[in-house]
Amino acid sequence: MVVLRTPRLPGARLTLQHWSLLALVSGASLGLVGHRFEVAWLLRASTALSPIGSLWVNALQMAVLPLLITQLLSTLVRVDPDASIGRIGRGALLLFLSFLTIAGVLAAIAATQAMAWLPPSGELLSGWRTAQVAPAAVAAAPVTLADWMQSLVPRNPFEAAARGSVLQLLVFTVLFGVAAGRLPQASRESLARPIQALAEAMMTLVHWILLATPFGVFVLILGVLLRTGVGALQLIGVYIVGTALLMILFTIVLYPVTALAGGVSMRRFARGVAPAQLVAAGTQSSLASLPALVQGAKDHLELPPSSSGFSLTLAVSTFKLNQPIYLIFQFILLAHVFAVPLSVEQIGTYLLATILFSFSVAGIPGGGGAPSTLPLLIAMGLPIEGAVLLDAANTIPDIFMTVLNVTADMSVATILARRIRPASPTSDAT
């Protein structure tokens, strides 16, 4: 599996995420000052830098779809259909998918309802539309479910690629990858090597493009705020607060869910997961929380080695419950602000993509899944510049995202432990 890790600027101790946040704050500050006092030279500078910022956005658009396809193919081709992943592995995968799907659906419902309380600001909407982050043309929504299902399979994958039909390309990629994964081992390995090389090359290219993220964020937010003033910050503020609240809410919900499905008391589960939550909040890394998760599973939850070892390691490596929640909220929020109507089919398609690509997200600070979903934003008529700016503000909600992830990791390990051993009548005694 090729994962897109958070780059570090050469010779810098801060991650790219931190530099992007600094660029967001500095660009917003200059933009507010320029808007308030009508500083002419700032407007001229923004106009001069705007083509360079647009070039960076175009480069990002150019690279994300090939990256998405090569990563997906690299994963599917390497799957051995004859390898037994065991009862725990199959149960874990089913549990992961169930959690991700339910969380994504509930987040979509909550976000849609919340938008009714957030009417689009005329100043914000017009400012963002007239700035360099103008939305793309809105794609026509499928009329019926039958039409939408028929449109999933492309008649010509090359024509679908030329049209930018992201969903059709994903369907073709999945079908091709599954078929390739069923080839004899020698043929599959010979095919996997060049695909893996392509995936790594695309990751390197995107890494180079992402190194310019602080500059791109600075140019984008400066241009927007010079034209809109404080209005554009409302979008970022709503995103930060809304995302944090959703993460806290879903973290709380995991306690009774684990108690019911895992056969432990909420108090006992809280004691077991609390040390890992503290590490997660401090490091914003699920991987860094793994030792605390394993220790808590042994000491407080008395999980068997198969759960405290294999299940937790598998969950931390591949299970990211925050992905469908924050990405679907971001998607619906951007559609609301830019007045792009969304159908149930479009929301479902985007949710499916977030679930699928959540398994390729690294458990490191800033290891988000937004680059994988950018092609769908483009296809559905939403400007990726808005998503870039929101992602630059992810440092604060990322604390709550990581806490949710490690809580979910402990939850699924506890539930799986109950599946592989009979429940003890005294298991909740403490």
- Cβ contacts of residue 426 below 8 Å, gap of 6+? none
Q: How far apart are CA 372 and CA 375, in angstroms?
A: 7
Give me the domain span that covers residue 41.
16-420
214-223: b (≥16 Cβ within 10 Å) or e:
bbbbbbbbbb
- Give the pLDDT confidence of 380-428 residue by residue, as tens digits: 677 777 777 787 777 778 889 989 999 999 999 888 887 655 444 444 4
DSSP sequence for 400-415: HHHHHHHHHHHHHHHH
Residue 355 lies in a domain: yes
Q: Number of structural domains, the chain?
A: 1
Task: Indicate whether 165 belongs to any domain.
Answer: yes
CATH code of the domain containing 309: 1.10.3860
Return the minimum-mean-pLDDT range out of 38-42, 64-68, 312-316: 64-68
Query: ∠ CA(224), CA(229), CA(233), 5° rounding?
Result: 75
Query: In 3D, which of 55, 43, 89 has the Cα closest to residue 226?
Result: 43
CA-to-CA dists, residue 395 to 11, 21, 276, 347, 366, angstroms = 21, 7, 19, 26, 8
pLDDT of residue 244: 93
pLDDT score, position 408: 94
* C-alpha dist (Å) from residue 29 to 19, 22, 33, 239, 276: 15, 11, 6, 19, 36
pLDDT, tens only, 315-336? 887 788 998 999 999 899 888 8
Residue 158 in tokens: 């090359």
Give the whole-angstrom CA distance, residue 399 versus residue 94.
27
Amino acid at residue number 163: R
Q: At what angle do helices 344-358 and 166-181 cross, to 10 degrees?
A: 40
User: What pLDDT, on the 0 to 100 scale, is given for residue 256?
Assistant: 96
Residue 103's H or E segment, with its range, is helix 86-115
Measure the CA angle with vertex 162, ends 160 and 166; round to 5°.
50
Across 40-44, 190-194, 243-247, 415-419, the highest mean pLDDT is recorded for 243-247
In a domain, 286, yes or no: yes
Q: Is residue 105 part of a domain?
A: yes
Q: What does the chain come to in residues?
A: 430
Percent of the chain with pLDDT over 90: 13
Q: Which tens digits make up the pLDDT trace of 46-64?
A: 888 888 888 887 787 777 6
Asked if residue 378 belongs to a domain, the reply is yes
pLDDT of res. 169: 75
Instruction: Tell me if 385 sits within 8 A of 224, measured CB to CB.
Output: no
